[in-house]
Structure 1
Amino acid sequence: MRRPRGMTAARGALGLVGCGLLVWGGWLLLGETDADSLRGVAYWLLAALLAHDLLLAPLVLLLGLALGRTGGARRALRAGLLAAGCVTLVALPPLLRPGTPRNPTELPLDYPRNLLGILLAVALATAVALAVAVARRSRRTPDPRDP
């Protein structure tokens, strides 16, 4: 099936904007950051990469396999688990940081409460996606009792 031309152009434009923002962010990072901070960013990026590749992705894939063949419901559950895992990994540094920050404005929010709220929103979105998948599947599957 061919994609409409407008969609291909929109995706290309979004890709170019994303690449431009990536280059701009790299320029700012390298141009306005001292060596110690760059080292910290490199450690953080390496830890995030390892956490994703060695922990999050295999866990989500194993849970997806454990769910069995449930069609669209399986996809919705895997997407929900992936989103919840990513949000949790991003929120872990402020949650696990010992003590109080030197600067009181550095972490002014209630991170445990906010993480719970976001995870509840992900769970709600996953439940809606599951309901839609089940409704679509039940509409497609003919009832064998009907003549």
Structure 2
Amino acid sequence: MQIVLIIALSLHVLSSVFWAGSSFALARTGGVGGEQLFRPQMGAAVIAVLTGGYLGHLVHEGTFGTPEKILAIGAVAALVAAGVQGLIAGRAIRSLRSGTADEAAARSRIATAQRLAAALLAVTAICMGAARYA
């Protein structure tokens, strides 16, 4: 059981660091490179959410105290971040690829989505750190 926990935690940390880090970088650069990182970001988001749920089940099963409430806030923020990136940035990227959108407007939407997601993922990271000491 310990090895399963270690593997799940490692996958969670690695995917979360990539997802948040790339979101912060894209937010800072105005979304430049968002097309190339969209699929890896969404893949990392899926892995982070699934492993986070599994870790919650393993480590916090049967309790819903203050640490679990803080983690739940972080989980909701992460899910909203994934939704923002998937819906707003995803649509803008699809319209860029199909040539149906104004390039400047699409890039602006990508940048906005990355900025919102970065802020939400910062909340998620803070919650993960704070839950340990709550």
| Short-chain TM bin | 0.3 to 0.5
TM-score, normalised to structure 2, is 0.39
Which of structures 1 and 2 has the bigger CA Rg? 1
Structure with larger RCO (C-alpha < 8 A, sep 6+):
2
Select the structure that is richer in helix: 2
